[in-house]
A and B are shown apart, each in its own frame.
Chain A
């Protein structure tokens, strides 16, 4: 499968699993698909048959509510059986509402409370540095998540400790639960903020694989400072009626909407 095909499979899994669970977060899961798809299939040194390898790269889904995109990508990559995906959010499922590192093969860090994942990622990056390990640490944050003060504590520490093994990705879809970022609490220029904290900042279209590839390559070559990739994305990306709609932040599709979404995604696959 090429990247477009795996991306489509991941998108189909996301809407299908959230349909089955009758709750979950489709909008912010769909906006991160291409970033996670690239990370798990091209960028990161991970091995589904040895998920706990000490030298592996680590991924932290700081925007933990986008668990469906992580589960769908891990399953697509072979960390666990795709048949488990419809058990999302159900009793006794390994697929908890937010990622649980104790339960899911391939989930490095439990997340869900916003702002904490990036702080954990800084700890992982410091650990790798202490061991002179080549392991790289990747974390994805929502743009609304940047409103959490802890994010900036973590960002300050990452720059201070010159964590060039850390890549912070902002899924900049512009929307949060109560509406547009700019109407809830304006974030101003995200890129300028990270630049002023002494990050290497790269701005890309988060759905363009060429730009994604170039950004991660640039991050690898950057020494002495962490990288922030500000990825402009579309919330609900790939499902027309969910795109750019804050209302699809945390609502499950009904059967009719699921069928419509799957039909659309099948068209893309052709």
Chain B
């Protein structure tokens, strides 16, 4: 196992602090969990704790961006996008301000805290906002790249990060390209399109499917918005069907975005693996991922059901 994406975020912020004097980091009393704490210790004058006040977190971030700073605002995904949604809409996205929202503890892999703290709708919420870009890195290396990119990007960016240790998928040679999908393996029977921690599962599933004589193409989608239409259209044309894999509701997430692209370009069957319009619950991350089908074994099962 590699680092959790939230840990990679904390490391990336430290580097940014040294290279970009305009970067200001904000948190809402969760700096130990979101890993903004290291930045806070090193660059205390550029760290703003707003207390337990997520609306104000986004409102202040907007003000700082309006002044010319590059604010990174962090809290848990459920509060960042849910509690503060309308502040993000009107104070950040409507005026197209340069605010970076790096939300951690997304998805059911939060674990024991339970359904109240497991965001399964944040991608849907952020995707719906004009001017917003939405990025879900899969591992530590990609997270570092994404944070570096986000700081240089002009405009609002939502970055979805996880609590759980993530498998390393990419090495030092990997560079993140905004708006581009990443084909991990080639195949011509089925395409697995995945994001976040499900990319590692999709990759494992492709290996298992190979043993059964099914050739699976695996595409990792770090940028949900703007979506890489070309890589999806190509997959729709070249493979028999598509299975999307995400640690998010099947409503409004990656699966919906892929379905939109496919219906507009090359209508193909799209099967969505994700939370089926339900909330999560308490349990260990492993137990929850198993129960809600976020495993390579379940991806294999779903592919075979539709093959």
Min CB distance A264 to B, Å, is: 36
How long is the Cα–Cα vector from A110 to B53 in the complex, in angstroms? 21
Stretch of B84-92, B103-111, B115-123 at the chain-chain interface? B84-92
A and B contact pairs by CB, cutoff 8 A, 11 listed? A100-B95, A113-B87, A116-B62, A116-B90, A123-B63, A127-B24, A149-B55, A150-B56, A150-B87, A153-B56, A157-B50
Given contacts A127-B68, A157-B53, contact A116 B59 (CB under 8 A): yes
How long is the Cα–Cα vector from A118 to B60 in the complex, in angstroms? 9
Q: Which A residues lie within 8 Å of B87 (CB)?
A: 113, 116, 119, 150
Q: Is the CB of A123 within 8 A of B95?
A: no
Given contacts A101-B66, A130-B69, contact A150 B95 (CB under 8 A): no
Q: Identify the B interface with A (CB < 8 A).
A: 24, 45-46, 48, 50-51, 53, 55-56, 58-69, 71, 86-87, 90-91, 94-96
Q: Is the CB of A120 within 8 A of B62?
A: yes
* Secondary structure of the B contact surface, majority rule: helix
Selected from B24, B56, B65, the residue in CB contact (under 8 A) with A122 is B56
Given contacts A108-B66, A127-B68, A128-B67, contact A122 B60 (CB under 8 A): yes
Q: Which A residues lie within 8 Å of B55 (CB)?
A: 115, 119, 149-150, 153
A112 at the interface (CB under 8 A from B): yes
Q: Which B residues lie within 8 Å of A128 (CB)?
A: 67
A201 at the interface (CB under 8 A from B): no
Q: Is the CB of B63 within 8 A of A101?
A: no
CB nearest to B24 among chain A residues: A130
Q: Which B residues lie within 8 Å of A126 (CB)?
A: 24, 48, 60, 63-64, 67
Q: Which B residues lie within 8 Å of A102 (CB)?
A: 95-96
A124 at the interface (CB under 8 A from B): yes
Q: Is the CB of B68 within 8 A of A120?
A: no
Q: Which B residues lie within 8 Å of A150 (CB)?
A: 55-56, 59, 87
Q: Which A residues lie within 8 Å of B56 (CB)?
A: 119, 122, 150, 153-154, 157
Q: Is the CB of B90 within 8 A of A123?
A: no
Q: Which A residues lie within 8 Å of B50 (CB)?
A: 153, 157
Per-position 1/0 for A44-58, Cβ under 8 A of B: 000000000010001
Q: Is the CB of B53 within 8 A of A130?
A: no
Selected from A115, A120, A156, the residue in CB contact (under 8 A) with B66 is A120
Min CB distance B248 to A, Å, is: 27
A121 at the interface (CB under 8 A from B): yes
Q: Is the CB of B51 within 8 A of A156?
A: yes
CB nearest to B48 among chain A residues: A126
Residue in A119, A123, A128, A131 whose Cβ sees the most chain B Cβ within 10 Å: A123
A10 at the interface (CB under 8 A from B): no
Selected from A115, A118, A119, A123, the residue in CB contact (under 8 A) with B67 is A123
How long is the Cα–Cα vector from A130 to B59 in the complex, in angstroms? 17
A202 at the interface (CB under 8 A from B): no
How long is the Cα–Cα vector from A157 to B55 in the complex, in angstroms? 12
